[in-house]
Structure 1
Amino acid sequence: MTSPWPRARLHVVTGKGGTGKSTVAAALALALASHGKQVLLCEVEGRQGIARMFDVDPLPYAETRIATGLRDERGPGSVHALNIDPEAALLEYLAMYYRLGRAGKALEKFGVVEFATTIAPGVRDVLLTGKVYEAVHRNARNRGATEYDAVVLDAPPTGRISQFLGVSDEVAGLAKVGPVKKQADQMMSLFRSPRTAVHLVTVLEEMPVQETADGIAELRRHGLPVGGVVVNQVRPHDVSDDDLALALAGRLDKEALGRELEHAGVRPTKVLLDGLASEARDHAERRALEDAQREVVADLDVPVAELGRLPGGVDLGALYELAADLRGQGFA
């Protein structure tokens, strides 16, 4: 299946807190790292979520190979990871663009880095996104560094994503001309181009779906390219529509249910049957609410993928399963 974003090299993953955006970002990186491709998975919130999901040591400020991508007829690629620290990013920026090697280290000792990232508005986000931009646009300034076919960014939540990617607005109050302004303009050229796709993660609940719709509208207002929506933690469809309707109406055939329990070797008491009927009704109500929110997501007019719940939690094996689902639905 052909990707809806054939030119995208930067995949930004955002979503309301609790929807599993970090899990989806990790799975997307694994999915993209097929056909022998090299993928960089970045995080910017300092939580070391990538290390926990991939069961590796806490990530330094250095690109570290952490996994092999999905296998196919052309072989797997590799996933590298990077935990982007704003202070380290500033020192690297000074070394690359101003050749302040030792001087940059001296600035760190005097606390200038902390000042720049906490007092000057917007500097922190500019530094974080600047490192992502450099990873996408490797050039002669960074000799010997890995050139990536794709970069996946586990970005801040939906409510902050437009500000986070709007580096031109953040820099406007700091620099009108010069290398900082020039780099910000180059970054915005990437973020607003078909080389970027901003994907939003949601679950089938009213508030996350509404925040996703608002996030898409906000991204479009700022000229940022919307990718797709990943509906995460979807309940399994293992009950027929007819049985769901009966459960919702409170008309499940308890005698038939009791016979099935007996066939399975379980004694069907009244308390057990009443409890199962109540659980079935709750499940049917939840499914009805999900179906209503699924219609809202469908009306957003963007590509949609659905990922099932992970009853055993998130581990590397589960990430590969989710990656295969994303690729099968055309997201990689």
Structure 2
Amino acid sequence: MALSTQLHVVTGKGGTGKTTVAAALAMSLAGRGKKVLLCEVEGRQGIAQLFDVPPLPYEERQIAVGPGGGEVYALAIDPEAALLEYLAMFYRLGRAGKALDKFGIIDFATTIAPGVRDVLLTGKVYEAARRRDGNRFAYDAVIMDAPPTGRISRFLNVNAEVAGLAKVGPIRRQADSIMQMMRSPQTRVHLVTVLEEMPVQETIDGITELTSDRLPVGHVILNLVRPSMLSVATREALSSGSLKTATVATSLRRVDLDAAAAPALIAGGTAHLERQRLQDGQREILEDCGRPLVELPLLSDGIDLGALYELAEQLKELA
């Protein structure tokens, strides 16, 4: 049976704001009336902080309502809890599974075989995406706040991770089913970056690796983009060096401001112009990556629920 639930995997280099983007995408989908599950797999409780709710347990709970009447549910996926659930589902262990946890077997299993840990984390996302509520899927879309770009391909490519651990059996079958979903036309892996050299290069490397593993790359989201605060005339004057301290000082006096601030203003304007040039250069590099780009502005007042609504408007193309 084909999956109709959309799966959006959001990754990015640490510090680029991938959790914020994942949350904003959830709000964008909810704004279209969709029921969305937003999952995190790294145990950082970043979703709870963004939505200003208590730390998320290992259960799905509603955390927001979109302007279009859609609902956002959230889930913090814990590998130990997922393994207990897995043992109960496939091996009917029930209480025996909890007994194993007391002896530390679960921690041992997920540490000694990290491939199993990734199967458990992605497996829970798989279960949520294929779960049905009557004659329809329980969620219209599932969004995963995934690990950083540097290990996203390995994390999603669970078949390769368990190849040496399980040739047959439930774990192998689970991995095969997960890979079918990950490579489905309904899945997209979105990469979040800022317009700086290292994150941009990691994004390009991530696209290459994901494509090599036949994992479907979606959009590249340019986050924290600084808007230009200079007029065209001011940019040209700063670039040519024709904007003199005396000219700026005169302008300051005309509006009853301290003329002594003129050198600092010119230095600040020059630094801002250089940052814009660096941004433009990195944007040009990404324009050749073969994937559609979406820009999100740097919000000076920080991120709260209102900011998520604002960013959600910019992500309608993904939704």
**Runs of 5+ in structure 2 lacking a partner?**
none
Match for residue 23 of structure 2? 26
How many angstroms does 1:293 deviate by? Answer: 0.7
- 1:320–1:214 distance in 2 versus 1, CA, 3 Å: same
**SS at structure 2 position matched to 1:265:** coil
In structure 1, C-alpha distance between the alignment counterparts of 2:248 and 2:298, rounded to whole Å: 26
Residues 103-112 or 188-197, more deviating: 103-112
Q: Which letter maps to 1:301?
A: G
Given candidates 287, 290, 315, the residue that maps to 1:301 is 290
**SS at structure 2 position matched to 1:151:** strand
- The question of 1:83 aligning with 2:83 is answered no
In structure 1, C-alpha distance between the alignment counterparts of 2:140 and 2:28, rounded to whole Å: 12
Residues 38-117 of structure 1: pairs in structure 2 closer than 5 A: 38-69=35-66, 71=67, 75-117=68-110
How many angstroms does 1:34 deviate by? Answer: 2.4
Residues paired across the two proteins, number: 315
In structure 1, C-alpha distance between the alignment counterparts of 2:197 and 2:164, rounded to whole Å: 37
**SS at structure 2 position matched to 1:310:** coil
How many angstroms does 1:84 deviate by? Answer: 0.5
In structure 1, C-alpha distance between the alignment counterparts of 2:178 and 2:254, rounded to whole Å: 64
- The question of 1:322 aligning with 2:311 is answered yes
Match for residue 240 of structure 2? 249
Match for residue 158 of structure 1? 149
- 1:258–1:231 distance in 2 versus 1, CA, 3 Å: same
Q: Deviations over 1:101-125 (max 9, x none)?
A: 2121111112111111111241111
Residues 1-332 of structure 1: pairs in structure 2 closer than 5 A: 9-69=6-66, 71=67, 75-139=68-132, 147-269=138-260, 272-327=261-316, 330-332=317-319
**Runs of 5+ in structure 1 lacking a partner?**
1-6
How many angstroms does 1:32 deviate by? Answer: 1.1
Q: Deviations over 1:113-152 (max 9, x none)?
A: 1111111241111111111111101148xx9x98110011
Residues 91-100 or 297-306, more deviating: 91-100
Q: Which letter maps to 1:92?
A: E
Q: Which letter maps to 2:117?
A: R
1:8–1:197 CA contact under 8 A, matched in 2: no
Q: Which letter maps to 1:152?
A: I
How many angstroms does 1:246 deviate by? Answer: 2.1
2:129–2:137 CA contact under 8 A, matched in 1: no
- 1:216–1:229 distance in 2 versus 1, CA, 3 Å: same
**SS at structure 1 position matched to 2:190:** strand
Q: Which letter maps to 1:176?
A: K
Q: Which letter maps to 1:35?
A: R
How many angstroms does 1:259 deviate by? Answer: 4.5
**SS at structure 1 position matched to 2:124:** helix
How many angstroms does 1:213 deviate by? Answer: 0.6
**SS at structure 2 position matched to 1:122:** helix
How many angstroms does 1:233 deviate by? Answer: 0.6
2:200–2:282 CA contact under 8 A, matched in 1: yes
In structure 2, C-alpha distance between the alignment counterparts of 1:169 and 1:263, rounded to whole Å: 69
In structure 2, C-alpha distance between the alignment counterparts of 1:262 and 1:19, rounded to whole Å: 41
In structure 2, C-alpha distance between the alignment counterparts of 1:41 and 1:170, rounded to whole Å: 24
Residues 277-286 or 27-36, more deviating: 27-36
Aligned CA RMSD, in angstroms, stands at 1.8
How many angstroms does 1:266 deviate by? Answer: 1.3
In structure 1, C-alpha distance between the alignment counterparts of 2:301 and 2:240, rounded to whole Å: 31
In structure 1, C-alpha distance between the alignment counterparts of 2:277 and 2:233, rounded to whole Å: 13
1:17–1:157 CA contact under 8 A, matched in 2: yes
**SS at structure 1 position matched to 2:10:** strand
How many angstroms does 1:265 deviate by? Answer: 3.3
TM-score (norm 1): 0.90
Q: Which letter maps to 2:154?
A: Q
In structure 2, C-alpha distance between the alignment counterparts of 1:61 and 1:318, rounded to whole Å: 27
Q: How much identity, in percent, do the aligned residues show?
A: 61
